[in-house]
Amino acid sequence: MKKRVVFIIAILFLLVGCSVGMETPTKKVESFLNKYQTNDDEVVEQFDTSLFEEDNLSDEQKQKYKDIMLDQYKNLTYKIKEEKIDGNKATVETEIEVYDYNTAINNAYVYLEEHHDEFYMNDVLDTVAFIDYKLNQLMDFKDRIQYTITFNLTRDDNKSDWKLEELSEVDLQKIHGIYKN
């Protein structure tokens, strides 16, 4: 009897040990989102690269914008709603919550229209002043919004790791909090 109990316990440890190493689609999505939450080097590097493309921002504005977005990522929360696996394809429906920067940006444009004299000189927009204003609004804005993202994953065969497919521009806008409903 003792040998049978020891054998069953050994089998259980073996099964649990083998399944711990297998990465599920949900774990892959969690790992991806955790990189944002921890401001992982890979996320920061990609963000730095995209900032170089912003010609209309001064170096100080770029740094402020970067700080705002890294704070956005750090405060991103998520809840896995459903995982579906169909052979070597999977989807993971996830609800995320982020700062609602789309509303903050819209509010800044409303303010611009209502306070024309603060930002225009001889009917020419002072873009530096307006960008500074928008950045300050983003920095202070703490209202949150929820979005649903469906992550798509694939794998080559039943034994290989799941690979997250590239996110759409819409899904990236959701993570940044700038998606327009």
Taking only the tens place, the pLDDT of each residue in 14-62 is 343 444 457 999 999 999 999 999 999 998 888 777 766 666 899 999 9
For residue 84 the two structure tokens come to 């579906």
Position 17 in a domain = no
In the chain, the number of structural domains is 1
pLDDT at 47: 74
- Give the tens place of pLDDT for each residue, 3-14: 443 333 433 343
Position 160 in a domain = yes
The helix or strand, by DSSP H or E, that contains position 180, with its residue range, turns out to be none
Position 6 in a domain = no
Domain of 49 in residue numbering reads as 23-176
Position 12 in a domain = no
pLDDT at 14: 39
pLDDT at 4: 40
Q: At what angle do helices 59-74 and 25-37 cross, to 10 degrees?
A: 140
Provide the 8-state DSSP code for 142: -
Position 151 in a domain = yes
Question: CB atoms < 10 A from the CB of 14, how many?
Answer: 10
How far is the C-alpha of 84 from the C-alpha of 125, rounded, in Å? 50
Position 181 in a domain = no
Whether this model's pTM surpasses 0.85: no
CB of 176 closer than 8 Å to CB of 104: no
Residue of higher predicted confidence among 1 and 64: 64
**Looking at the predicted structure, is the pLDDT value of residue 1 above 50?**
no
